[in-house]
Structure 1
Amino acid sequence: MHTHTLPNDFNLCGYDYALPQELIAMHPTHPRRDGRLLVYHRDSAHIEHRHFRDFCDVVPRDYTLVCNDTKVLKARLYAHKVSNEARDENLREILFHTTHMRGESSETSSTKFVVQIRGRVKQGAVFRIHDTAKRPTRFCMRVLELLDNGMRVVEFESADSSAPLEIGAVYAMLESCGHTPLPPYIKREDTLADSLDYQSVFASNAGAVAAPTASLHFSKEDFARIRALYEVCFVTLHVGAGTFANVQSQDIRTHNMHSESYALTPQARDVITGDAKLLCIGTTAARVVEYFWRVRESQGLCDLFLHPGNVPQRMDALLTNFHFPKSTLLMLVSAFVGREEVMRIYECAIAHKYRFFSYGDGMLIL
C-alpha cells in the first residue's frame, strides 16, 4: 500500500504534531501534586483542567489502580578505555540495558549484559569504570560481542575478584558509580535531585533504564492517601531504552516493537482476571495488563504494541504523560481514545501550555 493511500490511523504521519520547544519539561514540578492534570472523559469527550492534588476528587472510588513498581537503575556510566599502548583519557558514556539472556541458564546467575557505548569500539576492548565524581574505580568492563543493532555484550570485573560479576554485584556497582539515566532529550548532567525525582515513590524492583513517568506525579503522602481510598495492585515492567526508539516504518503496523521483562504478583493476576474497573497508572502498566490478558503468563517478555488496529481489551482508564510525536506511546493512547481525538486533546494541551514528556504534566483518561 502506498503511503498516500494508508489510512491515517496506520500512517506514521498521522501521529505528528508541532510542539513548541519551551513546553518540553527539563525539570519536574515541585511539589509533585502541583503538576497539572488534563482530565478527558471518554463518554462525553469533555476536557477538564485540574492538578494532581485533585486526583482523588476526579477518580471514582470503584477503580482499582494498577501501578508499575519497577525501579530505575543508575544505568548511565562513564569510563575510559584501557589499552596496551596508553590510557585513553577521554571518558566514554555507557548506557546499561539488560541481562544478556541468550545461552544463560537464568537471569540471576547471568554475567553477560547488554550496553550501549558511545563511539566506536572493538571486541575485546576493556574500559575502566569511573565513579560519580568521574574518578577511576576498581571496576572494569570487557566487550565480548558486537551486536548488529549497535548494542554490545559485556562482562564486568572487579580488581577484588577474577570472576565476572553477577547481576547483584553489577546492580550494586551501578548504584555506587552510575548516574540517573535521564531521557536523551534532557541535555544536562543529572543531579542528586534527579535520583529522587526520576523514581516513583513505590519503586521496589530494580531493572528499568527509564522511569514509568506517570508514576512520578505522586508524593509519598499523596500515594498513602490514594492507598487508603482505592484498591491498588502492582505489576513490574522493566522499562527499556526502546521506549525512546523511533518508529521507522510508514505503516505503523509493520513496526518491530521492543520487548521488556515483566512479572505479576498473584494478587495482580487475580485483579486483572476479575471484574474490577482498572485504572492503569502509565502506559507500561497498561501494556502489562493487556499483554497478560492476552497470554495469561505471569512473567516473560512483553512486546505488545497497542495502536488503533490493536486496541486495549481490559483497561478502563489510563493516567499518562504527554508523549513524543510519532511515538509508540502516542499510538497506545490513540488505541484507547482514537487518533483524531488524541490529536485534538494534544492541541488543547499545547494551547493551555501543559508541560510535555517525562518530567511534564499528566493526562487522565476516564
Structure 2
Amino acid sequence: MLTADFDYHLPPELIASEPLVDRSASRMMVLHRGSGQIEHRMFRDIGQFISAAAGDRLVLNDTRVVPARYFTNHGHEVLRLEPLTPTRWRCMVRPGKKFRIGHSVPIGEATGTVVEILEENGDRIIEFDRVVDESKHGHLALPHYMGREDQPADRERYQTVFARQEGSIAAPTAGLHFTPEVLQTLPHCFVTLHVGVGTFQPVKVENIADHKMHSEVYEVSEATALAVQSARRVIPIGTTAMRTLETVARDHGRVIATRGSTDIFIHPGFEFKVAGGLLTNFHLPKSTLIMLVSAFAGKDLTMQAYAEAIHERYRFFSYGDCMLIV
C-alpha cells in the first residue's frame, strides 16, 4: 500500500486547537466493523457499548506527559527526548547549526554543553552543570497543528485523569475524554507506554512497507496481564494501548507481565491477537495512526468514516472528538 492511499482533505477549521471544558462532552462516532454501520453518539454513551457482565475490559495508558520542550536563553529550541540522567539529556534541537559539539546551551540558571551528535538522526547529547528548573522553563510539546504555544491550562487538560507514570512527550489522546465519574463505571486496567517524538513525525516514504517506526518504552503489570487474559473482549483506549498489547502478544504468544520497548508498525494486513475493539481520536492524513485504524476497521470503512466525520463537522486530532470501533 502507498502512503497516499491514506490521505484525505481536512478543512482547517475542524482541527481542535482548544479542549472542551467538559472532557466527556465530546462526540463519539461508533463504527461497527461487521455491518459497516456508523452511529453518531456522545462519549458519555460509551457505557452502552461496554459490558462488565459480558467480560469486556478497557485497557488505558497511564503515562503522564512531562514538560519536554525548552528554550535557551538565546531563544533556540531544545526538545528533551530522554533524560539519561537528571543533567544529561538526549535531545532534538533547532536550529541545528547552533548546537555543534562544545557549544553552550544556557537554559535559565543552568548551562549545558553539547557533548555528542548522534549520527543516525542528528540528536544531541547535552550535559548540564545543574538540574534545569522544569517548573520555570519547561513547556508541553503541543502538536504543531494546534497552531499555538502551550498555556497554563494545558498542564492539566493535556493529561488524562489517570496519568501517573511520567515519561511521555505527547498525551495518549483517546484517554483525554474520560472523567473519574465515567471511568469508575467501566471495567478497566492500565498499561504504560511512554509516547515519543515519533508521534509528530510524518511518513516520508511512498510505500508504507518502507517506513521505520520509532521505539517507545512500555510496561504491563501482573494485574493487567491477568485481567486481559480473563477478558472476553479487550478494548484498548488509544493506539498506544493497542500497540502495547499487540506487541506483547506477538512476542510472547499472549499478554503477560513484562516491560520492554516496541517499534511495532500496525497497518493493513496485520493480524490482531488481542484487540476486540478500539477507542481512538481522528488522526492526521497519511499518518501511521490512521494506518493502524485502517488495519483494525478495514481501509475502505475507515476512509468512509473519516469522510462522514468531516461531513458531520467532528472535531479532529488531539483535543478533538473520538471514534469507538466495535
TM-score category (smaller protein): over 0.9
Give me the whole-angstrom Cα distance separating, in 1, the residues matched to 2:89 and 2:270.
32
Counterpart contact for 2:87–2:129, Cα < 8 Å: no
**1:150: how far off?**
2.7
Question: Does the 8 Å contact 2:15/2:316 carry over to 1?
Answer: yes
For normalisation by structure 2, the TM-score amounts to 0.93
- AA in 1 matched with 2:185: R
- Out of 48, 51, 54, which is 2:45 matched to? 54
Aligned to 2:145: 185
Equivalent residue runs for 1:215-364 within 5 Å: 215-226=175-186, 230=187, 232-296=188-252, 298-364=258-324
3-state secondary structure, aligned to 1:225 = coil
Which AA in structure 2 matches 1:139? A
Q: Of the candidates 155, 166, 171, which is equivalent to residue 127 of structure 2?
A: 155
How far does residue 275 in structure 1 lie from its aligned partner after superposition? 4.4
Q: Which digits, 9 at most, give the CA deviation of each residue in 1:174-214, with x for residues without a partner? A: 34431111112222121111111110000000000000000
Work out whether residues 32 and 52 of structure 1, in 8 Å CA contact, stay in contact via their aligned partners in 2. no
Q: Which moved more, 1:266-275 or 1:175-184?
A: 266-275
Match of 1:104 in 2: none
Partner of 1:84 in structure 2? Answer: none
Aligned position for 1:85: none
Q: Which moved more, 1:326-335 or 1:296-305?
A: 296-305
Q: Deviations over 1:109-159 (max 9, x none)?
A: 675321111112211112221xxxxxxx3222221111231311112321x
Cα distance between partner residues in 2 of 1:340 and 1:65? 26
CA distance in structure 2 between the partners assigned to 1:299 and 1:197 by the alignment: 28
Q: 1:339 to 1:256 in 2, by over 3 A?
A: same
Is this contact kept in 2: 1:66–1:280, CA < 8 A?
Answer: yes
Correspondence for 2:82: 98
Distance 1:36 1:117, change over 3 A: same
* Residue in structure 2 matching 1:116, options 77, 92, 105: 92
Label 1:274 to 1:225 Cα distance change in 2 as closer, same or farther (>3 A). Answer: closer
Amino acid at match of 1:147: L
Q: Is the contact made by 2:173 and 2:319 (CA closer than 8 Å) also made in structure 1?
A: yes
CA contact (8 A) 1:42 1:337 kept: yes
In 1, Cα distance between equivalents of 2:134 and 2:225:
32
The secondary structure found in structure 1 opposite 2:167 is strand
The match for 1:67 is 60
C-alpha distance in 2 between matches for 1:249 and 1:310: 19
Identify the residue that residue 156 of structure 2 maps to in structure 1. Answer: 196
Q: Does 1:44 align with 2:15?
A: no
Pairs aligned (count) = 317
Match of 1:106 in 2: none
| Contact residue 98 and residue 115 of structure 1 kept, 8 A | yes
Partner Cα separation in structure 2 for residue 141 and residue 111 of structure 1: 8
Q: Kindly state the Cα deviation for residue 310 of structure 1 after the two structures are TM-superposed.
A: 1.9
The answer as to whether partners of 1:272 and 1:293 remain within 8 angstroms in 2 is: no
Amino acid at match of 1:138: E
Which whole-Å CA distance do the structure 1 matches of 2:164 and 2:267 have between them? 30
Offset of 1:247 from its aligned partner?
1.1
Aligned Cα root-mean-square deviation (Å) = 1.7
Indicate the residue corresponding to 2:105 in structure 1.
127
Shift of 1:65: 0.8
Residue range with higher mean Cα deviation, 303-312 or 14-23: 303-312
Any conservation in 2 of the 1:238–1:262 contact (CA below 8 Å)? Answer: yes
Name structure 2 gaps, 5 residues minimum. none
Give 5+ residue unaligned stretches, structure 1: 1-9, 81-89, 101-108, 130-136, 159-164
Identity %: 43
Map 1:163-174; keep pairs closer than 5 Å.
173-174=133-134
For the pair shown, the structure with the greater C-alpha radius of gyration is 1
Distance 1:12 1:180, change over 3 A: same
- Contact 2:57 2:228 survives alignment (8 Å): no
Q: Contact 1:272–1:289 at 8 Å: present in 2 too?
A: no
TM-score (norm 1): 0.83
